Amino acid sequence: MGNKLLLDQGSGGLASHRLVADVFLRHLANPVLARMDDAALINPKGPLAVSTDSFTVDPIFFPGGDIGCLAVHGTVNDVAMLGAKPLYLTCGFILEEGFDLDDLERIVASMARAAKKAGVRVIAGDTKVVGRGAADKIFINTTGIGEVVSSRPPSGHRARPGDAVIVSGTLGDHGLTILSHRQGLSFEAPVQSDCASLNRLTLKLMQRLERVHVLRDPTRGGLATTLNEIAQQSGVGIHLEEPAIPVKPVVASGCEVLGLDPLYLANEGKLICILPGKLADQALAVMRRDPLGRDACVIGTVTAENPGKVVLRTGLGGRRLLGMLEGEQLPRIC
């Protein structure tokens, strides 16, 4: 096939079939996908959760991941946050003519590893090739389908006064990694993306706790924006304690130098769990037994005060209103 992508490899003809067979089917093959029909048949046992997302991250390879595994993790997590067990993915690729085929194969292989680890199958897909300059190397769209396993699925509308607000680990890792790698910056200590699928952790929470009100992964806009969305959806206030919010020293110092706030940086392997305060210790025990939740901690509470607002008590004892992110802090973060 050569080392660079050609326009005819997106034409639907022989070159397209060879590309699909040599790259996509070789890494993502399973009995459903191998049928090569125009649609896939699935047999759900009950209610389904569906989510779709598109990925344009720049750079496409970064410490801790790449656009391929990110496309799997991001959509798996969105489905899992609804109290569902992700089962299937579809993926669509928009590829620029001249894109390196070795890089494409590396990305698809990364997707395959991420899907296998998450326990999901890629069951349908599409590939389009556009002319040079009509796209930037590669864009990926994924749709996830999962079986709802909770009798009362978590929702952004279900936060209640008295609930505890828990995060599963350190914040801002992915955002600072993308920015530093894109700009060629280095810090005293290495920083890498937290890119990971959280569905096994969410399933443990669903199985071992009687009630989980909200699950959410704070991606674009970070913790502050995501909590604002929840506060507005539920009509409650959220009060946070700044000293309790986990941020790695390298991320904190990097943000200070660059004038960024880690509470607004994207995360790709962390979750927010909101549940009755009396269950907080139990939730922490469940999360900390999982490698992806070992740094979990309570960072605040849900209150009836200041409905729709997120208020941070700073380390000095002052109060700061955390609004939603305004503008684009860092484009093409995912």
CATH of 163-321, one of 3.30.70.660, 3.90.650.10, 2.30.30.90, 3.40.50.1100: 3.90.650.10
CB-based contacts of 324-329 (< 8 A; 24+ apart in sequence) = 324/221, 324/224, 324/225, 324/228, 324/229, 325/220, 325/221, 325/222, 325/224, 325/225, 325/264, 329/175, 329/260, 329/264, 329/265
Superfamily of domain covering 7-148: PurM-like, N-terminal domain (3.30.1330.10)
Return residue ranges of the chain for CATH 3.30.1330.10: 7-148
Residue 228: alpha-carbon gap to chain centroid: 18
Return residue ranges of the chain for CATH 3.90.650.10: 163-321
Task: Report pLDDT for 39.
Answer: 79
Quote the percentage of the chain above a pLDDT of 90. 83
- Per DSSP, what are the bridge partners of residue 26? none
Task: Report pLDDT for 1.
Answer: 45
Tell me the pLDDT tens digit for each residue of 142-192: 999 999 998 889 999 999 999 999 999 999 999 999 999 998 888 888 999
| Cβ(189)–Cβ(252) below 8 Å | no
CB atoms inside a 10 Å sphere around CB 325:
20
| Residue stretches of the chain with pLDDT short of 70 | 1-2, 328-329
Residue 183 main-chain phi, psi, to 5 deg: -95, 0
- Per DSSP, what are the bridge partners of residue 215? 273
Residue 107 main-chain phi, psi, to 5 deg: -70, -45
Task: Report pLDDT for 43.
Answer: 75
| Cβ(63)–Cβ(193) below 8 Å | yes
